[in-house]
A and B are shown apart, each in its own frame.
Chain A
Amino acid sequence: MANSTAESTMRLEVFRYEPDKAAEPRFQTYEVPFRKDWVVLDALNHIKDQSDGSLSFRWSCRMGVCGSCGMMINGVPKLSCAAFLRDYYPNTIRVEPLSHFPVLRDLVFQLDPFLDKLKSVQPWIIRREGEKPVSEGEYLQTPAQHARFKDFSMCINCMLCYAACPVVGMEPHFLGPAAIALAQRYNLDSRDEGRDQRQETVASHDGIWQCTFIGECSAVCPKHVDPAGAIQQAKVESTIDWFKEVLWPFGGRKS
């Protein structure tokens, strides 16, 4: 409905699910002003503020670091605070909750199973003999050692990778990209000694071996974590472990 004298507008077609009112979801179309520096989140807030307060969605930082606002924007998982209206104008934008998660209400989805998966990889520093006392100062870690796990530590838990991964959609028990990348973050941290403990979960059938290397997780990741890389690297390492075990069954510690 672009009008050269009045403000330009565009349309959002938004997934609605209001369990108090109806058992089935529906789509609702809204018309919003088009501003060239607006993101989809701005448009949703405009709708909520001015015309339909019942539209529910999660958001907070609006700068791509809290991970709250992940949604399917025209079928692609994106942070709604990073999806600019100008990239879609004048076409209608379809907004849906992230795929592969149960929907609780409108664009709000159930994410507790994801947190369980994160917890299952023991995402904390594990040391065989406990932490050294703080009086001994910091563990030394060179910039090169830090670089080994740096990318994997950038995950904001936005779950776009889970929405992009068809395996997650088909196999609900698959650990998934973010959880495995987080496990690798700790495995590769020079201060951690817990890789063996994590292997049972990570190198299992529901762990890295469910992955068929589609690679879309890394493609949609807004923080360039490269979870696909984490998973394939873990596969290589686990395979080497297996060979070592077969060839040197009574040998020393695994790496």
Chain B
Amino acid sequence: MDSHEHDVLIIGGGGAGLRAAIELGENFPKLRVAVLSKVYPMRSHTVSAEGGAAAVIKSNDSLDKHAYDTVSGSDWLGDQDAIEAFVKEAPTEMLRMEHWGCPWSREPGGQVAVRPFGGMAIERTWFAADKTGFHMLHTLYQTSLKNPNTKWYDEWFATKLLVEDGRCQGAAAMEMLTGQMHAILARSVILCTGGAGRIFPFTTNGAIKTGDGMGLAYRAGVPIKDMEFVQYHPTGLPGTGILITEASRGEGGILVNKDGYRYLQDYGLGPLDPWPRLRAMELGPRDKLSQAFVHEDEKGRTIKGPYGSVVHLDLRHLGEAKINKKLPFVRELSKNYAGIDPVYEPIPVRPVIHYCMGGIDTDIHGATTLPGLFAAGECACVSLNGANRLGSNSLTELLVFGRRAARSAAEFATAHQGLATEPLKKQANDEQQRIATQFIRKQGGNERVANIRQEMNHTMESGAGIYRKEESLRATCNTLAKLKERFKNLSLDDRSVSFNTELITSLELEFMLELAQALAHSALARKESRGSHQRTDFVKRDDQNYLKHSMAFRTDGEPRIGYKDVVITRWPPGERVYGK
């Protein structure tokens, strides 16, 4: 068993992972840092984020206002100590990005520009046209290349965390090119592996969003927090699920039903005018917009399309010049993948899965309950976003918590020098055997990866979608249990070792089935409606019993669901009011 030794191992090379790597390279140069990713870092899904990243910058804005917007947006499930730390560090992080060359869009005088975004009372969303995630990721990747000492494990897949003496001491990871397992030993590990949108059938998420890191932590005994809270982005393209950024609404775009009626005014987000208006109508929070779609659909007022019902996102009144300047990527995507030019026709859109508010339980310093294991970004749940995330908070979250987790990991690595090399190598060896037995050398079996995956997708959308109830959730839990059994009967076409992508998709599915279970069981246990978790059998928010985070713990059977209190500092639970 080949082994390698590092001080800090970062798993995941997206925005959070690269920010962590830069922090370590700049401020802890003596530490040996490695970044391990199943894709080359510039392919990470951060690249597809479009709209922007929020940080207080205008003189009429304040940290308290940003915090309040986030707290109320989270339907009071966000931990307020995390939110306060986040809004405070956000502007510094964003300025750092600017210094590193991020091409923020500018005011005529050269200052950084900001745009309105959903659920925010004041404009504070920094943006780089409508390709903010792309520019942020490439800026971070290129800046991280300044440090020649970082070790890059590109196209390596971590299949198991190595834990010994109650500490996380690295990961067993497979070099995808050769199929060989290696023991990557490290004094601390930071998971920055992103969300798990691919559990659902219609998603803005790319292929790689399969929740691997959440699965790694879950199997190592770390609870997955608030997994039932998954965000439907209100404006994805039908069929493909490709994201049409919230910025299109920030610039003034409107949502209309089949009668050309701006229906959001019927759902507590009006009045119509003036428009655009912050925290109102199409700039309301994402959970409410997605829920409104479901109601319109039930009333028969949506437009029937070849991929199900849609509503129309109308940008025509913005004019060609504004669309080309502020939303050029939206125009390109609509033309290529929806066959319409938004300058002349409205874009067909529907809610699609976009973001996991839930994830690996961490504290506000990025530490998990397993010593030596840290997490940041979408895979983590601090919780910054609570029951519903505001658009443009998550790109900033990558920076703030990527840095925090890096500092915590550095401190831990410095204080814990010993590595239990031999037992860890043995664990990696056992893991290699498991994969060989379960997949490569498996005899018999008759299931295909894609079929199990598609059935998982289907049951999640039908039972654990935007609106849920006891029967649908129970049915989903049962289906998932059966799918886990059927997974044992998987038979791969590809038994090779060199770049076996069918094996990778099987390992990803294995993680997804467990996370889907955590989601469905957490949703079943939460008998209230809050934010993006809406139950038709428990329609009200119940602060008495559920002002708490769900904590899903892995068992050999069904997940065990526990609870943890939400941290309230300065904003006692109130009502979410939009529109006025």
Point out residues on A near B: beta carbons under 8 Å: 18-21, 37, 48-50, 52-54, 56-68, 82, 104-106, 108, 111-112, 115, 118-119, 123-125, 131-132, 134, 137-143, 145-146, 149-150, 153-157, 182, 186, 189, 191-192
A132 to B99 CA separation, bound complex (whole angstroms)? 8
**Which of these, B99, B106, B499, B502, contacts A125 with CB under 8 Å?**
B99
Knowing A66-B47, A134-B92, A191-B101, say if A49 contacts B450 (CB, 8 Å).
Answer: yes
B525 within 8 A of A: no
Knowing A56-B501, A143-B106, say if A111 contacts B40 (CB, 8 Å).
Answer: yes
| Interface 0/1 of B78-102, CB less than 8 Å to A | 0000000000000010011011110
Knowing A20-B496, A54-B494, A104-B499, say if A60 contacts B206 (CB, 8 Å).
Answer: yes
Nearest to A189 among chain B residues (CB) is: B101
Contact yes or no, A137 B48, CB < 8 A: no
Q: CB-CB < 8 A to A52: which residues of B?
A: 493
Kindly provide the distance from the CB of B42 to the nearest chain A CB, expressed in whole angstroms: 5
Nearest to B112 among chain A residues (CB) is: A138
Q: Within residues 484 to 515 of chain B, which ones have a CB less than 8 A from any CB in chain A?
A: 492-494, 496-502
Q: Could you pull out 18 A-B pairs where Cβ atoms are within 8 angstroms?
A: A18-B496, A18-B498, A21-B496, A50-B450, A53-B502, A61-B47, A62-B206, A65-B131, A68-B43, A105-B498, A106-B499, A123-B145, A125-B100, A125-B143, A134-B96, A134-B99, A142-B110, A191-B101
Q: CB-CB < 8 A to A192: which residues of B?
A: 101
Q: Within residues 309 to 334 of chain B, which ones have a CB less than 8 A from any CB in chain A?
A: 329, 332-333
**Which of these, A63, A118, A125, contacts B242 with CB under 8 Å?**
A63
Nearest to B496 among chain A residues (CB) is: A20
Contact yes or no, A186 B101, CB < 8 A: yes
A21 to B494 CA separation, bound complex (whole angstroms)? 11
Q: CB-CB < 8 A to B177: which residues of A?
A: 104
Q: CB-CB < 8 A to A149: which residues of B?
A: 103
Contact yes or no, A142 B100, CB < 8 A: no
A235 to B337 CA separation, bound complex (whole angstroms)? 38
Chain A interface main SS type: loop
A220 to B35 CA separation, bound complex (whole angstroms)? 32
Q: CB-CB < 8 A to B103: which residues of A?
A: 146, 149-150, 153, 189
B109 within 8 A of A: yes
Contact yes or no, A142 B109, CB < 8 A: yes
| Interface 0/1 of B212-254, CB less than 8 Å to A | 0000000000000000000000000001101100000000000
Q: CB-CB < 8 A to A54: which residues of B?
A: 493-494, 496, 500, 502
A134 to B206 CA separation, bound complex (whole angstroms)? 34
Q: CB-CB < 8 A to A154: which residues of B?
A: 131
Contact yes or no, B48 A63, CB < 8 A: yes
| Interface 0/1 of B117-153, CB less than 8 Å to A | 0000000000000010011001000110110000000
Kindly provide the distance from the CB of B290 to the nearest chain A CB, expressed in whole angstroms: 20
Most chain-A Cβ atoms within 10 A of its Cβ — which of B92, B135, B207, B333? B207
Sorted from nearest, which 9 A-B pairs have the closest CB atoms? A140-B110, A49-B450, A53-B493, A54-B494, A105-B499, A60-B206, A53-B502, A20-B496, A61-B206
Knowing A37-B239, A66-B43, A82-B336, say if A156 contacts B496 (CB, 8 Å).
Answer: no
A142 to B105 CA separation, bound complex (whole angstroms)? 9
Q: How many B residues touch the partner, as a band? A: 35 or more
A129 to B110 CA separation, bound complex (whole angstroms)? 22
Kindly provide the distance from the CB of A246 to the nearest chain B CB, expressed in whole angstroms: 33
**Which of these, B48, B494, B498, contacts A53 with CB under 8 Å?**
B494
Contact yes or no, B134 A65, CB < 8 A: yes
Q: CB-CB < 8 A to A62: which residues of B?
A: 206-207, 240, 242
A59 to B154 CA separation, bound complex (whole angstroms)? 15
Nearest to B209 among chain A residues (CB) is: A60
Kindly provide the distance from the CB of B235 to the nearest chain A CB, expressed in whole angstroms: 14
Q: CB-CB < 8 A to B44: which residues of A?
A: 66
Known: A65-B329, A125-B100, A186-B101. 15 other contacts (CB 8 A): A21-B496, A48-B450, A56-B494, A57-B501, A65-B48, A66-B42, A67-B42, A67-B43, A68-B43, A82-B336, A124-B145, A142-B106, A143-B108, A145-B110, A153-B138
Q: CB-CB < 8 A to B492: which residues of A?
A: 53
Kindly provide the distance from the CB of B305 to the nearest chain A CB, expressed in whole angstroms: 12
A138 to B96 CA separation, bound complex (whole angstroms)? 9
**Which of these, B206, B332, B494, B497, contacts A66 with CB under 8 Å?**
B206
Q: CB-CB < 8 A to B60: which residues of A?
A: none
Q: Within residues 43 to 59 of chain B, which ones have a CB less than 8 A from any CB in chain A?
A: 43-45, 47-48
Q: CB-CB < 8 A to B343: which residues of A?
A: none
B39 within 8 A of A: yes
Kindly provide the distance from the CB of B147 to the nearest chain A CB, expressed in whole angstroms: 10
**Which of these, A19, A50, A137, contacts B95 with CB under 8 Å?**
A137
B208 within 8 A of A: yes
A53 to B491 CA separation, bound complex (whole angstroms)? 10
Kindly provide the distance from the CB of A149 to the nearest chain B CB, expressed in whole angstroms: 8
Contact yes or no, A153 B135, CB < 8 A: yes
Q: CB-CB < 8 A to A138: which residues of B?
A: 95, 98-99, 104, 111-112
Nearest to B497 among chain A residues (CB) is: A20
A125 to B138 CA separation, bound complex (whole angstroms)? 12
Kindly provide the distance from the CB of B270 to the nearest chain A CB, expressed in whole angstroms: 33
B449 within 8 A of A: yes
Q: CB-CB < 8 A to A131: which residues of B?
A: 99
Q: CB-CB < 8 A to B242: which residues of A?
A: 62-63
Nearest to B91 among chain A residues (CB) is: A134
A157 to B493 CA separation, bound complex (whole angstroms)? 31
Contact yes or no, B101 A124, CB < 8 A: yes
Kindly provide the distance from the CB of B222 to the nearest chain A CB, expressed in whole angstroms: 26
B258 within 8 A of A: no
Contact yes or no, A156 B134, CB < 8 A: yes
Q: CB-CB < 8 A to A67: which residues of B?
A: 42-43
Q: Within residues 177 to 202 of chain B, which ones have a CB less than 8 A from any CB in chain A?
A: 177
Most chain-B Cβ atoms within 10 A of its Cβ — which of A18, A49, A131? A49
Kindly provide the distance from the CB of A35 to the nearest chain B CB, expressed in whole angstroms: 10
Nearest to B451 among chain A residues (CB) is: A49
Contact yes or no, A140 B498, CB < 8 A: no
Kindly provide the distance from the CB of B108 to the nearest chain A CB, expressed in whole angstroms: 7
Nearest to B131 among chain A residues (CB) is: A65
Kindly provide the distance from the CB of A155 to the nearest chain B CB, expressed in whole angstroms: 8
Kindly provide the distance from the CB of B498 to the nearest chain A CB, expressed in whole angstroms: 5
A58 to B132 CA separation, bound complex (whole angstroms)? 23
